[in-house]
A = this chain, B = another copy of it.
Amino acid sequence: VRHRQTSTYKDIQRLTGLSLATISKHFNGGGVLPKNRAAIEGAAVDLGYRPNPFARSLRRGDSQTVGVLLPSLQSAFIFSVIVEVERCLRAQGIGILVASSGGTDRTSSSPALDLLLSRRVDGIIAVPSPADVPALSEASRAGIPVVSLDWWHPDLATDSVTLDNFDAGRLAARHLIDHGHRNVAAVVDDLVSSMRERLDGFAAGVATAGIDLDPTNIARVRLSVADAYDATRALLARVDRPTAFFTTNYDVTLGAVIAINESGLRLGRDISLLGFDATDLALATRPTLTIIVQPVEELATETARLMTDHLNDPGSRHDPVVRRLPGRLVPGGSIGDAYR
């Protein structure tokens, strides 16, 4: 689309008789005589003037845009965070260009990230799927501010904002322990570090009660409802069936719920489940689910803040900032008491 002719400084110049430099100064710095200020503003309104962002970016070398890179498998949760991030950034005049990386294999360049880079985004907010890590590292090394969100990867030395996953896992463990559970199981997505940390925290929490988490009670799956369903079924079929399950993310929680429902066991009575992220799901099951939820708002504002800090202070190459925000346990009815 060739753009409908919009007015430019020249038009304002024609109406005001001022020079382009003065007009530019008005729209940027300020320092203009009140009389001229009024004249420019008046003309701008009359003309419906909008600055041309391309000319501006060409000249100044920035885009006022940050790229958002999402993994191939999205959850409603991450979108709620992104929407909030967008609001924060928009308040600063920054737009977000969103691209979701297909499930590309760990290649050195993902088409999604490529689009963002070719658009010269000023920074990148990424939920870094392992496949994107090499390319993201490279971008970061090239000097583009990168903030990891939600997920996290050991090879990616960027700022990051995530849940305090270890603590969340421990929280879950304690809750189950407090309810008398000893034979507990975990269904874990182990594609990304975040999930593994949740498991580690869970194991640690269980350990403080003097219990060793039975390795055969740990099912590792890959971001998939179906896998989680299968894994849960298998665990439910064990002779020494666990009395409680911990599931470390939305998909896995859903898979587990389906398997449990199908098994005929009653949640919160015959079997306990402590889920993750599944805010809506938690309300629809019967009984409701006890889950761990993430602080969406805080994750978003922290992410936005880290990014704007970078944008406002270009070239500063400090050590990665790591923010770990606490999760919260929302009680439902899916945890029964297990005494023995």
Contact = CB atoms under 8 A, between A and B. Distances in A.
A98 interface: yes
A75 B77 CA distance: 10
Interface in A99-139: 99-100, 102, 111-112, 115-120, 122-123
A254 B284 contact: yes
A74 to B, nearest CB: 6
A122 to B, nearest CB: 4
Given A62-B3, A286-B285, A96 B95 contact: no
Q: How many copies does the complex hold?
A: 2
Contacts of A122: 1
Contacts of A75: 76
A254 B256 CA distance: 20
A329 interface: no
A284 B311 contact: no
Interface residues of A, number: 67
Contacts of A74: 79-80, 83
A123 B111 CA distance: 22
A53 B119 contact: yes
A2 B60 contact: yes
Given A58-B58, A74-B80, A96-B97, 12 more contacts: A1-B61, A1-B144, A50-B117, A52-B120, A74-B83, A76-B76, A90-B115, A254-B280, A280-B281, A281-B281, A284-B284, A285-B286
19 contacts: A1-B61, A1-B62, A1-B145, A50-B117, A50-B118, A55-B58, A70-B83, A74-B83, A76-B76, A82-B98, A83-B100, A87-B102, A90-B111, A93-B115, A95-B99, A97-B98, A261-B286, A285-B285, A285-B286
